[in-house]
Amino acid sequence: MTTPRLLIIGPQGSGKGTQGERIAKAYGIPAVSTGDVFRANVKEGTPLGLQVKAIIDAGDLVPDALTGEIVRDRLAQDDAAAGFLLDGYPRNIGQVGDLDAFLDERDEPLTAVVELSVPREESITRIAKRASEQGRADDNDESIAKRLAIYESETAPVLDVYRERGIVDAIDGVGTLDEVFERIIVALTARGIVPAT
C-alpha cells in the first residue's frame, strides 16, 4: 500500500478545505492547512499571528520562508509519520523546491496531488457565499480577485511540475460534496492509496 503523502490544490472556493478534511479523516492522516495554522495564530494573537494578520488584511500572501518554516515544523510531528495532506502549500515554484528538499531528506516524496478543478465564476460565487455566512474580512471582491489572479499566475505552474512527475489527479470540483469526494477516493485508490476507514 502506498503511503498517503498528499497535496490538495485548487483555487479559493474550490472546496479544498472541506475535501481536505474528509480525505484526512478517511486516511487517518493530519490535514496540514497553512491557512488554518495562520488563522489559529491570528486568533490567539501570537507574534506570528499579528504578522500574518497584517499581511492577509492587505490581501497579500505570507512570505515563503515563514510559510516553509511552519510547514516543516508541522510535518516533523509524530502524527504526520504515516502520511499527511497538505493544503495551501506549496503554492509557488520556490516552495516546491523547499518542500522537495525537506521530503528528500526524509526519503518521503509526495505520492499524489489532488487538483480540484472549478470554473472561476463558480469559485467567486462560493467565496461570496462563504463571506456572507462566516463574515470573513478577507473575502471581499477586491481580495478575491487578487487571490484568484495570484493562484492562476503562481500556483498553476506548481501543477505543471507535479504533472511532469505523473502524480496529479485532476478532479472535477463541481457537484455535491459526496460526489467530489467519491471522485477523489477513486483516483487515489487507483494509485494504491487506500483509505484507512
Can you tell me whether residue 108 is helix, strand or coil?
coil
- For residue 115, the Cα-to-chain-centroid distance in whole angstroms is 10
Is 118 part of any domain? yes
Quick: pLDDT tens for 128-139: 887 778 776 666
- pLDDT surpassing 90 at residue 155: no
Which amino acid, residue 96?
V
Structural domain including 178 reads 5-190
Residues 6 or more apart from 94 whose CB is under 8 A from it?
64
Q: 2-43 pLDDT, tens per residue? A: 999 999 999 888 888 899 999 999 999 999 988 888 888 889
How far is Cα 6 from Cα 23, in angstroms, rounded to an integer?
9
Highest mean pLDDT among 48-57, 59-68, 93-102: 93-102
Looking at the structure of the chain, the number of domains it has is: 1
The catalytic residues are 16, 91, 130, 136, 147
Q: What is the CATH number of the domain that holds 123?
A: 3.40.50.300
Mean pLDDT of 164-188: 96
* CA separation for the pair 116, 190 (Å, rounded): 17
